[in-house]
Structure 1
Amino acid sequence: MIRTMTEADWPQVWEFFDPIVQGGETYAYPLDLTSEQARVLWTVAPPGRTVVLEQDGRVLGSATMGPNRPGRGSHVGTASFMVAPSARGRGVGRALGEHVVQWHRDAGYRAIQFNAVVETNAAAVRLWRSLGFEVVGTVPEAFDSRAHGLVGLHVMHLPL
């Protein structure tokens, strides 16, 4: 079940948020974030939305969505995703991705732009491509991967 994230969900999201950030492979968030600082960064206010995918009372993933830019850029949406390591390979990312695409369509967005998909995050790149996104550019050496050193960040785009 995918639903709007509540304040009560945050402790379960934090359980995977922090290890994912500390892992150094997908997000350029500061490594010294407190739980409260991370919650403020992750929780998107209207007109955006933050959701969780819950199964049997456990939060397995979360996504944020909304306008990529304010004002004259607000017709293009964006999103961010995190899936609990224990839930990877079980369709959680795909379900969240499909939900986000439909949410943007229903809200009247013209496109979705992902600003920073780490090029070595092969599972994410493969998933977004399977949902129709294309890499429209790569910023060379824009991300310092813990495992790979300096790698590119893809800008990915899906017209709606």
Structure 2
Amino acid sequence: MLIREFVEADWPQVWEIVGAVVRAEETFPYDPAMTAGQAYDMWVERPPGLTVVAVEGDRVLGTAKMGTNRPGPGSHVSTASFMVAADARGRGVGTALCRHALGWARERGYAGMQFNAVVETNRTAVELYRRRGFEVVGTVPGAFAHPSLGRVGLHVMYCAF
């Protein structure tokens, strides 16, 4: 598996992943009716941010975006988001993307990385982030409407560098 910068030719496969994850309504607080154009504008970061893909040959297995969490006085903290194709989960793609994003942020001198909205029932992601050094610094109860579990919390997670 190779992680490389996103190029325009990757978009059809990235949209397939993003669309499926968002339509499932289980892990991301994005509008499940979003169009490919809206998703592109939301997912593909402009510099100084970065969007990457994890590929095996010509196949995109997963994608990540990373950048500054907040402008101005908060610009010393980074953020990132990750999505993995359903049939590629459990193969270390998410871990590799997270490791890549953390390295990217450290190389650019950020003080840490913050995730603003990790669905608490997304145990795979929560445990992956904990293994990479993140901790839950707060939870907003009932902030995410899960399709089968009802309202569940959204974690704010942080990793200091």
TM over 0.5: yes
Residue 115 of structure 2 aligns to which amino acid in structure 1? F
Distance 2:37 2:5 in 1: 18
- 2:95 maps to 1:94: yes
Superposed displacement of residue 60, structure 1: 0.3
2:109 aligned residue: 108
Q: CA deviation at 1:32?
A: 1.4
1:130: which partner in 2?
Answer: 131
CA deviation string 1:78-110 (max 9, x = no partner): 000000001000000000000001100001000
Question: TM-score if structure 2 supplies the norm length?
Answer: 0.98
Distance in 2 between residues matched to 1:138 and 1:117, nearest whole Å: 9
State the shift of 1:36 in Å.
1.2
Query: Following the alignment from structure 2 to structure 1, what is the Cα–Cα distance between the partners of residues 49 and 129?
Result: 20
Count of residue pairs brought into register by the alignment: 160
| TM-score relative to the length of structure 1 | 0.98
CA–CA distance in structure 2, aligned partners of residues 19 and 63 of structure 1: 15
Residue type of the partner of 2:50? R
Q: Percent identity of the aligned residues?
A: 57
1:92-142 CA-partner distances (Å, limit 9, x unpaired):
000000000110000100010000000000000000000010000000000
CA distance in 2, matches of 1:147, 1:95: 29
More deviation, 126-135/33-42: 33-42
- Shift of the alpha carbon at 1:47? 1.1
Per-residue deviation, 1:19: 1.2
Q: What runs of 5+ residues in structure 1 fail to find an aligned partner?
A: none
Gaps of 5+ in 2: none
Structure 1 residue ranges (4+ consecutive) displaced by more than 6 angstroms after TM superposition: none
Q: Which residue of 2 aligns with 1:72?
A: 73
Secondary structure of the structure 2 residue equivalent to 1:129: helix
What residue in structure 1 maps to residue 41 of structure 2?
A: 40
C-alpha distance in 2, partners of 1:7/1:146?
32
**Residue 31 (structure 1) shift:** 1.6
